[in-house]
Amino acid sequence: MTENNTTTRNPEKPTSVSVKDNKERYTGALGPMRRWIDEHPNIWEFILFNVLSNISTATRFIVAWIGTAVFVSAMGMTQPFSFLIFNYTAPNSNGLGGFLTFLFAEVLAQVVNFIVQMKWVFKSDSSFKDAAWKYAILAIIVVVVNLVLPGYVTDMCVRWGMNVGLASTVATIVNTLLAVVVSYPLLKFWIMPKKSDK
Residues 88, 155, single domain; the answer is yes
Nearest to 165 by CA among 99, 82, 104, 98: 98
Instruction: Using pLDDT thresholds of 50, 70 and 90, give the confidence band for residue 71.
Output: very high
Q: In this structure, how many other beta carbons lie within 10 angstroms of the beta carbon of residue 40?
A: 12
Q: Is 171 exposed, middle or buried (0-12, 13-18, 19+ CB in 10 A)?
A: buried
Q: Are residues 150 and 56 in the same domain?
A: yes
pLDDT at 86 over 90: no
Does 31 share its domain with 78? no
Q: Both 9 and 93 in a single domain?
A: no
Domain that holds residue 133: 41-197
Residue 153 has a pLDDT of 87
What's the whole-number average pLDDT of the chain?
81
Whether the per-residue pLDDT at 64 is higher than 50: the answer is yes
In which band, very low, low, confident or very high, does the pLDDT at 171 lie, cut at 50, 70 and 90? confident
Q: Are residues 62 and 131 in the same domain?
A: yes
Looking at per-residue pLDDT, the higher value among 87 and 147 belongs to 87
Local structure of 160: helix, strand or coil: coil
Q: Assign 177 a pLDDT band (cuts: 50, 70, 90).
A: confident
% of the chain residues with pLDDT over 90? 22
Same domain, 28 and 119: no
Most confident of 21-35, 71-85, 164-178, 179-193: 71-85
Q: Are 18 and 67 part of one and the same domain?
A: no
Confidence of residue 120 (pLDDT cuts 50, 70, 90): confident
**CA 20 to chain CA centroid, nearest Å:** 34
The H or E element containing residue 138 is helix 128-159
Q: Domain check: are 29 and 122 in the same one?
A: no
133, 48: one domain: yes
Q: Which residues contact 80 (CB under 8 A, 6 or more apart)?
A: 88, 89, 93, 95, 96
**Lowest-pLDDT range of 12-21, 73-82, 100-109:** 12-21
Q: Total structural domains in the chain?
A: 2
Do 89 and 19 lie in a common domain? no
Shared domain for 45 and 118, answered yes or no, is: yes
Angle of CA points 67, 55, 35, to nearest 5°: 165
Supply the pTM of this predicted model.
0.63
For 170, phi and psi rounded to 5 degrees?
Answer: -65, -45
Q: What region does 76 belong to: left with phi over 0, alpha with psi -120 to 50, or beta?
A: left
Q: Are residues 90 and 125 in the same domain?
A: yes
pLDDT in tens, 10-44: 445 444 444 455 455 445 556 888 888 889 998 99
What is the mean predicted confidence (pLDDT) over 140-151?
80
For residue 30, what pLDDT is reported?
A: 67
Q: What percent of the chain has pLDDT over 70?
A: 83
